[in-house]
Chains A and B, each alone.
Chain A
Amino acid sequence: MKDIIRAKCLISSDIEALINQQIKKEAHSSAIYLAMASWCNQNGFDFSSDYFFKQAEEERMHQLKFYKYVLDMGGSAISPDITNVKQEYNSFREVFEEALDQEISVTQSIKNIAARCYKEQDFVTLEFLNWFFKEQREEEYKARRALELFDVIGEEGTGRWEIDKHVNKISYQEA
């Protein structure tokens, strides 16, 4: 009896399900960043708004990268429903705290896929995930540095204006 399923699809159904979950997570992230961009814009933080617009685009790009991988491997990629996007924030700082949480949660979720890949000895997907691990180093670094600006500069007086100006300048130099 031929192994038809393997001939049709390189990844297992479990890995496919996990990546589809990740596709949803990236799409959700992108939507959250868009909401953050809107909040910052409405509250006069123009540079931060631009920063979050860029982040939203990046997350969307990550989503598509996962999406295309599933299809290229012969699996079925699922276009996700996105609900539950927080639109309102209590403070400028809260936006950045949640942005960091979001990135940490994405990193953990990709680590979870990698753990499953090791279990199944799916080295093909593991190699694909490496790009994302490298990307997450940068994403978490940027989110952490942005949040640190609140402590370094302080929010008093023109502090928030100063923080906003610096957010867009954060860049990651690879180790």
Chain B
Amino acid sequence: MQKTKSQISLPTARFDEVFSTEKGAIYQSDEEVCWYVDFAGKLAKFDYRNLLKLQKAVYKIDIENLLLSSDKSPDLEIIFICACDHCYVLSLIEIISLKELLQGAFVMLELNHIIFDRLHRLVG
């Protein structure tokens, strides 16, 4: 017998897309209170502290300096975050993409905060 739509058990975890670019995306999981970063071929889970640490680690990379540097070392950066399972080894182009992704995501999270304040916290 064919199962009706209501009988099929679907995974309960729900993701909301926070921001995406051609190179990747960041999703939020309200149930798990965390974010999933889909970038450089992997989906990595970050909690609040670690997402901020990732943001800080990426923002502090001096992209201009790497672009202008004429030494022969490969322009690879290792982004390692203490007490976090994930580590990225990224080329300069990927760093720029990840930075763009994070900047967009944080703007959207800020926007979400403003909407929450204006619509739910003040009116509700």
Q: Which residues of A contact B (CB under 8 A)?
A: 1-6, 8-9, 13, 76
Query: How many residues of chain B have a CB within 8 Å of chain A?
Result: 13
Residue of chain A at shortest CB distance from B116: A3
Q: A6-B113, A6-B116 are in contact. Are A1 and B48 (CB under 8 A)?
A: no
In angstroms, how far is the closest chain B Cβ from the Cβ of A112? 22
Q: A1-B16, A1-B18, A2-B28 are in contact. Are A76 and B112 (CB under 8 A)?
A: no
Report if B33 contacts A (CB, 8 A): yes
Q: List 8 A-B contacts (CB under 8 A).
A: A1-B28, A2-B33, A3-B112, A5-B48, A5-B109, A5-B113, A6-B117, A76-B49
Residues of A close to B116: CB separation below 8 A? 3, 6
Q: A76-B49, A76-B52 are in contact. Are A4 and B18 (CB under 8 A)?
A: no
Given A1-B18, A2-B28, A4-B28, 14 other A-B residues pairs in contact with their CB atoms under 8 A: A1-B28, A2-B30, A3-B112, A3-B113, A4-B30, A4-B109, A5-B109, A5-B113, A6-B116, A6-B117, A8-B48, A9-B48, A13-B52, A76-B52
